[in-house]
Amino acid sequence: MSARRVSRRSVLVTGAALAGWAAFSAQKLAFAADAAETGGATGAEWDAQPKVFQIGREEARARLVPYATESDALRGDFAKSPYFRSLNGTWRFHWSKNPDARPTGFEAPGYDDHGWDRIAVPSNWEIEGYQEPIYLNIQYPWTGYEKPEPPHVPHEFNPVGSYRRTFTVPGGWSGRRTLISFQGVKSAFFVWVNGKRVGYSEDSYTPAEFDITDHVHAGENSLAVEVYRWSDGSWLEDQDMIDLSGIFRDVYVYAIAPVHVQDLFVRTALDDAYRDATLTVTTTVRNRGGATAGAHSVEAVLHDARGRRVGSPLRGRATPGKGDAEVQLTADVRAPALWSAEQPNLYTLVVTLTDGRGRVVDIQRTTLGFREVAHGPGKFTVNGKPVMFRGTNRHETDPDHGQAIREDRMIQDIRLMKQHNINAVRTSHYPNHPRWLELCDEYGLYVIGETNLESHGVRDTVPASLPEWTGACVDRLRSLVERDKNHPSVIVWSLGNEAGQGSNFQTMADWVHARDSSRPVHYEGMNAVADLHSQMYTVPADVEAYGKSGSETPFILCEYAHAMGNSSGNLKEYWEVFERYPNLHGAFVWDWVDQAIRLPVPGDPRHNYLSYGGDWHPGYPTDANFCCNGLMAADRTPHPGLLELKKVYQPVGISAADLGAGTVTVRNKHLFSGLDAYELRWTVTCDGRTAQHGTLPPPKAAPGGDATVRIPWTKPRTPEPGAEYWLNLSFVLASDTSWAQAGHTVAGEQFALNWHTPAAADPDPDGLPALTLEESDSSVRVTGRQVDVVLDRATGTLSSYRWKGRLLLSGGPVPNFWRGPTDNDIGRGAQNTLRTWRDAGTKRTVTSVKAAQPSRGAVTIAVECTLPTAPNTSTWATEFTVRGDGEVRVRHTLKAADGLPDLPLVGALLTVPQGFERIDWYGRGPQENYWDRNSGAFVGRYRSTVDAQVAPYIRPEQTGNMTDVRTLSLTERSGAGLTVRADPAEGEPMLETGALHYSPFDLEGPRHPYELKRRDETLLGVNHRQTGVGGNDSWGAPPLDAYLLHAGRTYTYAYRLSPAQEAG
């Protein structure tokens, strides 16, 4: 660092900072006046007093805990500071049904709590077994008990948790001020220390700190906390999530010097070349002692990631007198390593405060990143580059701990995000645990920091423009901004979510613009007060319309691709649009993980399941599994859709240049990084089997640039007849990172190679072993040397298919047009509107069965059926050709009548007897995939089991589908079994298939996987096509039209059944 030079950019930053601080100071005075009006706590502040949201609470600031030495500060583990004591652990606890039933006088140090329970802090008391969680999306959680009008809250059922414990104040803290910090308590609470009430606070997701110096003494002290499940502040906390209560984040006490660093605000600005930086450190020094404080020295030392000092210390002087003094230190930093989500370079700033005698009185630290966010007409950039959010929303939720999120779960989340190419997260819809922000800084994620403000159920009236709610709204925003202002990962401030419109949002926007003009403001509910234009669940065509409009306001989707159950369709279409227009800056999936609670299976406590709304209090109003919208299950098992997201989010694009010459074009979508961290692996497959492979160094493509790469494959002189050749490319990590190991695939693509030699002609049926045709009134039987096929005339389907005496097929193909309704299907009412197709196959009427033997080695059986679709009847025809080599060729034709709804699928179900559990297929995989969700599933050969085809959806629904299937085999260990092949001779080169121990009808109805009744046999779906899964939303939007199966058309497809090749 060097002495500060004045530049255009730094003058702008400093000017904005001073304006912001002036607004901040004015706001503090307003809050102080509000607090004075209360006249002290009465104990009723939790109800119908929206102007009273805190009493005695410290004003919001950056999270600071003093250290004893500079080296301790550099290490950054404040839990090891001698001035810190955690109060996490086991507390005494009493649960009451309502405020009138709560124990009074429990705050007294001598109160007898031996009969009370014990509870872990942090935790949610519902998770610990006290009453039940509640899940409602829009309605307030108390709806099933009482229906108060704002700002009133329930009285008859409004549980109160009374907490007690003791804690020790070290003797070494004498002469210092002692503060207690609650990082998260839902939804409102009073605090007593040694029997004295010290404060009250609302806002569940930001810190509430109290100066308890006048109430503690060295040695043991008593602490009592009274937590209200619902308060008037709950009207501002109507987020779409499971409603839980209690002290769910860390609690600790710490000691500060009478004159200490009260707050730090660190800002960085970059020069026009984005090379050098200006560092501005605003330090607030506060005197909490009785005497007037003289001049104190402030020294700030910057350290790089290796702990080395950067430049010279910054020094200034502050004279706080009997209050606050502010000192601003500014310096130039030459060519710092910049922070971005790609390259999260961090520095540590250690600030030391010394008194007039040169004694160190306080040492504080903060991490920082040199980065600059610019926003305005026509731009939204990080370090000069237009940012593209490949994002997700994330609720804080854990199946075993509720909202008491542990660090290992946070790390698991962030590693999984990075592994799946997610570069941004929206803290929906409240400030997240402070450790999460530190991890985002360290691992590299862009963050939209969101205010704890949602009034969805009453958003037309609260907070709107009501002045009684203004203070609470601004306080919630201020608590977020002050806590998180030094995190480089936070690049957008959000005013809240689905809370309506009104002047209160203008007031909030004005406040944050004045306090921190370096970050844009977001609020989808009232874009007029924001710097970004934000929408939710806009379909790709309408997103493109905004792109084409040329609007200079940067556009994002703060929520899109509703990932409820089997969803995440048409992501590809979204990202083709996002990458086409410069005013589009990405989107955030709704959402990261299912919200669910792990419970024992009823009647079988040895096993557990993931529960959701309706499981905890039968009959209570609920929105069921609408809390389960995750890209992964609550236990962090990824859903198949996450792999599709990884594909469309990949930061390296690969396209064909001249495949005939072996060249491809690589586009580096990184903003700041080359491709040196990767190696390029290539494979050529022949019918899914590796034929050639190799590894290449990464191409030299600058950020945002292209490079041409030649793949050194060798074209075979004589390609195998009828074989497909594919080129698979993948960029993998060349070495370990903090979030993945070397070899992890970051990006990939697949190309069909035009190396085609016609397949050999099928043998003439006359040359095949002879067949015998036998007909009776009830059946048609075809037998040969090793094959035996029986068709039931009543059903028009095969009742048996044997090879060498072994039963390979015990039923089918039964026409099927139904799937276990997905959550998106149910959301648009498809289980009702498309219902004419549900039983159309099983209730068919066979109108004709005709058998013929055109040659000695072939028998044909033609079956015609009518389908009872309404209002018009459809028809289904199947032609079987049984051949002497054991092959059965099947051709289906559906004539879907006019005037009918779309079809869920067009296909047929075959019943395969027990024992054929291994599944091998050549098609897209390995994860399940669908017509509108298969770009991330490459064509290859895959092996699994039938049981493994059930994806981990929390509610049973359609699962296990594979697209573009050429062949599929169900076999036993020996390799004996059944093979299905698409029939290219009939113009149907590919199928969709699925093999399950459940029928589509089995998947319809049960609320949980444990309720499914597994069949011994396998139901094999051999289908022409299945409707896409969709996902634009889950409450009405169908899949895109390109992925629908319309009626009024004829659908024809064909396949071949044959014995699988046995091992040996």
The reported pLDDT for the residue numbered 1062 is 63
What is the distance in angstroms between the CA of the first residue and the CA of the last residue of the chain? Answer: 74
The reported pLDDT for the residue numbered 9 is 33
Asked if 752 and 725 count as a contact pair (C-beta separation under 8 A), the reply is yes
**How far is residue 980's CA from residue 965's CA, in Å, rounded to a whole number?**
9
CATH of domain 386-527+534-597+629-645: 3.20.20.80
Considering the chain, tell me which residue range(s) the CATH 3.20.20.80 domain(s) occupy: 386-527+534-597+629-645
Distances (CA, A) of 66 to 63, 172, 353: 10, 14, 11
Q: Which two tokens stand for residue 771?
A: 């067949």
**How far is residue 696's CA from residue 680's CA, in Å, rounded to a whole number?**
5
Q: Which residues contact 622 (CB under 8 A, 6 or more apart)?
A: 134, 135, 136, 613, 614
Closest CA to 226 of 141, 122, 121, 102: 102
Q: Which CATH superfamily hosts domain 651-735?
A: Immunoglobulins (2.60.40.10)
Could you tell me where the DSSP H helices lie in 946-1015?
A: none
**How far is residue 460's CA from residue 694's CA, in Å, rounded to a whole number?**
61
**How far is residue 260's CA from residue 863's CA, in Å, rounded to a whole number?**
89
**How far is residue 850's CA from residue 3's CA, in Å, rounded to a whole number?**
96
Asked if 309 and 348 count as a contact pair (C-beta separation under 8 A), the reply is no
**How far is residue 1064's CA from residue 1061's CA, in Å, rounded to a whole number?**
9
Tokens 């959680």 -> residue: 141
Residues of the chain with pLDDT under 50: 2-27, 29-39, 1063-1064
Render pLDDT for 529-566 as a digit per residue (tens, 0 to 9).
999 999 999 999 999 999 999 999 999 999 999 999 99
The reported pLDDT for the residue numbered 761 is 87
The reported pLDDT for the residue numbered 984 is 81
Q: Is the peptide bond before 712 cis (omega within 30 degrees of 0)?
A: no
User: Which is catalytic among the residues 45, 438, 498, 724?
Assistant: 498
Q: Which amino acid is at 278?
A: T
Closest CA to 96 of 148, 124, 131: 131
pTM of the predicted structure, to 2 decimals:
0.95
Beta bridge mates, 598: 610
The reported pLDDT for the residue numbered 31 is 46
Q: Which amino acid is at 555?
A: F
User: Which is catalytic among the residues 202, 450, 524, 559?
Assistant: 559
Q: Which long-range contacts (CB under 8 A, 24 or more apart) does 144-152 make?
A: 144/617, 144/620, 144/621, 150/232, 150/235, 150/458, 150/461, 150/462, 151/47, 151/48, 151/49, 151/50, 151/232, 151/235, 151/462, 151/468, 152/47, 152/48, 152/232
**How far is residue 1026's CA from residue 963's CA, in Å, rounded to a whole number?**
9
β pairing state of 811-816 and 858-867: unpaired
Buried b (16+ CB within 10 A) or exposed e, 393-417: bbbbbbbebbbbbeeebbbebbbbb
Asked if 813 and 828 count as a contact pair (C-beta separation under 8 A), the reply is no
Closest CA to 961 of 952, 950, 969: 950
Considering the chain, tell me which residue range(s) the CATH 2.70.98.10 domain(s) occupy: 772-1059
Determine how many CB atoms are found less than 10 A away from the CB of residue 848: 11
Q: Is the peptide bond before 639 cis (omega within 30 degrees of 0)?
A: no
**How far is residue 666's CA from residue 673's CA, in Å, rounded to a whole number?**
14
Q: Which amino acid is at 354?
A: T
Report the run of H or E that residue 272 belongs to, with start and end. Answer: none
Asked if 923 and 966 count as a contact pair (C-beta separation under 8 A), the reply is yes
Q: Tell how far CA 118 is from the center of its chain.
A: 34
Q: What is the DSSP letter of 762?
A: P
Asked if 1025 and 1016 count as a contact pair (C-beta separation under 8 A), the reply is no
**How far is residue 186's CA from residue 180's CA, in Å, rounded to a whole number?**
17
Q: Which residues contact 270 (CB under 8 A, 6 or more apart)?
A: 9, 276, 277, 278, 338, 370, 371, 372, 383, 384
**How far is residue 721's CA from residue 775's CA, in Å, rounded to a whole number?**
39
What class does CATH assign to 40-254? mainly beta
**How far is residue 289's CA from residue 362's CA, in Å, rounded to a whole number?**
14
3-state helix, strand, coil in the chain (%, to 5): 15, 40, 45
What class does CATH assign to 2-26+259-368? mainly beta
The reported pLDDT for the residue numbered 329 is 97
Asked if 441 and 367 count as a contact pair (C-beta separation under 8 A), the reply is yes
Q: Is the peptide bond before 386 cis (omega within 30 degrees of 0)?
A: no
SS3 339: strand
Q: Which two tokens stand for residue 426?
A: 């929206």
Q: What is the dihedral of CA 734, 737, 740, 745, to 10 degrees?
A: -30
Asked if 838 and 929 count as a contact pair (C-beta separation under 8 A), the reply is no
Considering the chain, tell me which residue range(s) the CATH 2.60.120.260 domain(s) occupy: 40-254
The reported pLDDT for the residue numbered 33 is 40
Beta bridge mates, 750: 728
Task: Write the burial class of residue 603 (CB in 10 Å: 0-12 exposed, 13-18 middle, 19+ buried).
Answer: exposed
CATH architecture observed for domain 772-1059: Distorted Sandwich (2.70)
- In degrees, rounded to 5, the angle at the alpha carbon of residue 511 between the alpha carbons of residues 508 and 516 is 120
Considering the chain, tell me which residue range(s) the CATH 2.60.40.10 domain(s) occupy: 2-26+259-368, 651-735
Provide φ and ψ at 524, rounded to 5°: -65, -30
Known catalytic residue: 498?
A: yes
Q: Which amino acid is at 125?
A: W
Render pLDDT for 397-452 as a digit per residue (tens, 0 to 9).
999 999 999 999 999 999 999 999 999 999 999 999 999 999 999 999 999 999 99
DSSP 829-862: THHHHTGGGTTTTTT-EEEEEEEEEEETTEEEEE
Known catalytic residue: 524?
A: no
Asked if 45 and 28 count as a contact pair (C-beta separation under 8 A), the reply is no
SS3 317: strand
